[in-house]
A and B are shown apart, each in its own frame.
Chain A
Amino acid sequence: MADDLLRAEAIEAGYGKVQVLWGAELTVRAGESVVLLGANGAGKTTLLKAIVGLMPAWRGTVRLAGQDITALRTDRRVRLGMAYMSELGVFPGLTIEENLQIGGQFAERAVLRRRIEELFGVFPDLAERKRALAGALSGGQRKMLGIAKALASGPKLLVMDEPSAGLSPLFVQQVIAVLGRFRAGEAGGAGALSMLIAEQNVAFLDLADRVYTLDGGRIRFEGTVAQLHADDALHRAYFGLA
């Protein structure tokens, strides 16, 4: 579709001879927030890595704003407006401010300065310790820094791999609240942020305009949260309730 910001078509990928993805497809439209639900081993991380270029897609195509980016390196994809946040992504030996500067390294100095000030407004804990080394932060604060660093590039699309991993329920709610502000266009200053979030924590469905479920390397469901709830089998699988 013309307004698709991200379009992953028939993605096949894996590790060595082990195929993990079997023709996975998903789209994210401009301004849309999409959650990719799946259990451990479903292939979520593999699909995201293929989308951001951290591993090659054996088959299939990845398009960003209509441009075929399947053969591009990760750094090229980032320059085109894709930001990726995962367990990795924070540089512990650099200060919080330097981490954000690296995240926004392609922006003009004045733009980056303004953007970092805005991010410090959204993440006051980081602002207070901006000269501290990222390695001195707690797990939750590092996660926040990872998100802030990804946003410092002013991305068209923020791709996140399990932002809840390793966080307490309280911190998960904080992460969701912060992302909700970007989704609603209340933060970031560039309207509603497009997001693709791979998760197994259903709390993130609060952010979802649409949901995909991934199982065995294949997309099994695509629809709204209400449609997901309406499907008895999926409801049982992801919410554990009859």
Chain B
Amino acid sequence: MRKRSLLPDLLLPILALAVFGVAPFVYSNELMLFNFVMFLALAQGLNIVYGFTGYLPFGYVGFYGAGAYGFALAVMHWHAPPLAAMAAGGAAALVLAVVLLPLLRLSGAYFAIASLAAAQAVYEVVSNPALQNITKGPYGVSLTSVFAPRFSYYVGLAVLALAFALVVWLRNSRFGLALQAIREDPVSASMAGVAVVRGRTIAWMLSALVAGLVGAAFAWHISVFYPDTAFDLGISIFATVFVLFGGATTLTGPLLGVLLLYGVYNVIGISVPQYFQFIYGALIVALVLFLPNGLVSLLTSRGIRVP
């Protein structure tokens, strides 16, 4: 048994971070770049819980929204500096993850749907007009006092780096291997001495933390948003499709999924919007039919280890 080199797993993240690090200096549409960074991080965050434990939370956006509102409340009510408010966003997602821990007793479609319902419940609470004094209800929040698009873009990039680092660690650690054993068969994993509940809990919390921090970075970057934006189910769907399209458990899969699909989304959505849904739908149907384990399965099915 030889210890694997980390280099192949580090190359792609470093390249992606470098490209998106210089991109704002050569491309002016910073919001689009931020959205790319945001989805790259969300896809890796979802990869942590889905790729390594097999749990697919349709309501992943709940953590993202909790992070956005955690950031907003910290700025609005405590006048927290933005970086401290980022921590509040991450903490809000972690608190939500703890509250939702019982969902991990479910599995498969039941878990996916229950997580969706949970995200919707959080949305209903946040957008409740009766809570206007706290969350501003459905009228949205304005954080113009901390608006700093360039700085918050790089904070988003730092969150992406964290997400990459977590996935690299999981792919190269005994803990990550134990999580994959849980994904394969939890009973067999416990028979091999794996602490199943603890493993799932840690993966769930890490995944929520990433989404919460991405949500907080979004809140900072965009500064004015509404519950409908922060808890937009489309965010969950996009992140899920990107991971499934590229292939879970790898660094490459979700990254490819975001670059290709979100790239196509932007190109088609702008140039020929009338064909967008048709082309997008056809792409996804083709993938489900011919490559159900994602693009990377073209290589992994031949025994090639994909970073």
| A contacts, CB < 8 Å to B | 52, 54, 73-75, 78-79, 84, 86, 88-94, 97-98, 100-103, 105-106, 109, 112-113, 116-117, 131-133, 149, 153
Hey, which chain B residues are within 8 Å of A101, CB to CB?
A: 1, 174, 177
Cβ of B143 to closest chain A Cβ, rounded Å: 44
Contact yes or no, A74 B191, CB < 8 A: yes
CB of B272 within 8 Å of the partner chain? no
Hey, which chain A residues are within 8 Å of B192, CB to CB?
A: 78, 89, 102-103, 105, 149, 153
Q: In the complex where A79-B193, A102-B177, A105-B193 touch, is A94 in contact with B187 (Cβ < 8 A)?
A: no
Binds A, one of B146-154, B161-169, B178-186, B215-223: B178-186
State the CA gap A149–B191 with chains docked (Å).
10
State the CA gap A153–B192 with chains docked (Å).
8
Determine the residue in chain B with the shortest Cβ distance to A74. Answer: B190
Contact yes or no, A131 B181, CB < 8 A: no
Q: In the complex where A112-B1, A132-B303, A153-B193 touch, is A105 in contact with B178 (Cβ < 8 A)?
A: yes
State the CA gap A94–B174 with chains docked (Å).
13
Determine the residue in chain A with the shortest Cβ distance to B3. Answer: A109
State the CA gap A149–B180 with chains docked (Å).
15
A-B contact pairs, 18 of them (CB 8 A): A54-B187, A74-B190, A74-B191, A75-B194, A75-B196, A78-B192, A79-B193, A88-B185, A88-B188, A89-B188, A91-B184, A93-B184, A94-B177, A102-B178, A105-B177, A105-B192, A105-B193, A106-B193
| B contacts, CB < 8 Å to A | 1, 3, 174, 177-178, 180-181, 183-185, 187-196, 303
State the CA gap A88–B183 with chains docked (Å).
14
State the CA gap A89–B181 with chains docked (Å).
10
State the CA gap A98–B1 with chains docked (Å).
10
Cβ of A91 to closest chain B Cβ, rounded Å: 4
Question: B178, B184, B196: which has the most chain A beta carbons within 10 Å?
Answer: B184
Hey, which chain A residues are within 8 Å of B189, CB to CB?
A: 91, 102
Hey, which chain A residues are within 8 Å of B190, CB to CB?
A: 54, 73-75, 78
Cβ of A100 to closest chain B Cβ, rounded Å: 8
Hey, which chain B residues are within 8 Å of A93, CB to CB?
A: 180, 183-184
Determine the residue in chain B with the shortest Cβ distance to A130. Answer: B1
Q: In the complex where A106-B193, A116-B1 touch, is A94 in contact with B185 (Cβ < 8 A)?
A: no
Cβ of B55 to closest chain A Cβ, rounded Å: 15
Cβ of A3 to closest chain B Cβ, rounded Å: 25
Determine the residue in chain B with the shortest Cβ distance to A135. Answer: B184
Hey, which chain B residues are within 8 Å of A117, CB to CB?
A: 1
Contact yes or no, B181 A102, CB < 8 A: yes
